[in-house]
Amino acid sequence: MSGAIAAGIIGLVTIASLGQGLNAEDSVTNVGCLPLDNITPLVPIVQLPAYLPEGYEYKCGIVEFGEANLLFWNQTLDRSTYEVDPINAAWDTPGSILIRVSERPSITDPSNQAEQEYRYIAENNPKLGVQLIEIAGNPAWANDISVNAGTQEAKFPDGEVIAKTYDMPARIRIFESGKMIHIEGFVPLSELKKVAESLQ
């Protein structure tokens, strides 16, 4: 059996398993916007927040190779067509909160991992004001919403450089042995900390 055919079969099996157990109101199976009941069996390390800002609730999520991305928001969206974009969720759904839970077998020293990432960010983008913190006894780094702290450059063959800045969301990244939790959104860091501390 060729690799392409095997990959296609695995993909169909995964989509079929994601489609099982959908709620009655989910008449269209949309693997880009799954109900929570379909997320937790596939990524059992998922932790859910007991606290969310007023009006926020789970909207949908996606699963990718030992990682779950969960979108919480206080607005409505069309579950049949919306697809969670874990890279651009903060900009696509302004004010939403994205929680990413990832299996990370390479994390054997959570404190060292947090320190390394913190130092890298602090040295390469001091505008973010990144800080080392603890969440429920676990090492983490965080930054508040930062105006014009993100940068993007395009370099052309003639030497011209065009630079663009953009706002960065508040972020918290928590490290545990074999696991990483990332939370972000254009909401105050104080609120994200409450969300993070309530994970269970």
Report the chain's mean pLDDT, rounded to a whole number: 86
pLDDT digits (tens, 9 = 90+) for 92-130: 999 999 999 999 999 999 999 999 999 999 999 999 999
Which residue in 42, 41, 36 sits closest to 23, CA to CA?
A: 36
pLDDT digits (tens, 9 = 90+) for 140-160: 999 999 987 666 767 788 877
Query: Can you read off the two tokens belonging to residue 11?
Result: 């993909």
Helix, strand, or coil here: 118?
Answer: helix
pLDDT digits (tens, 9 = 90+) for 6-17: 333 333 334 334
Is it the case that residue 22 has pLDDT exceeding 70? no
The domain limits of the chain are 3-103, 110-176
Neighbouring-strand partners of residue 10: none
Helix, strand, or coil here: 89?
Answer: helix
CA distance 24 to 172: 35
Is it the case that residue 20 has pLDDT exceeding 90? no
Q: Are 121 and 172 in contact (CB under 8 A)?
A: no
Cα 61–Cα 8–Cα 64 angle in degrees, nearest 5:
25
Q: Are 171 and 182 in contact (CB under 8 A)?
A: yes
Question: pLDDT value at position 79?
Answer: 92
Question: pLDDT value at position 23?
Answer: 44
Q: Which of 48-57, 145-154, 177-186, 187-196 has the lowest mean pLDDT?
A: 145-154
Instruction: Report, as an integer, the average pLDDT of 185-191.
Output: 97
Question: pLDDT value at position 29?
Answer: 76
Q: Are 56 and 76 in contact (CB under 8 A)?
A: no
- What pLDDT band is residue 161 in, cutting at 50, 70 and 90? confident
DSSP H stretches of helix in the chain: 3-19, 36-39, 89-92, 110-124, 189-197
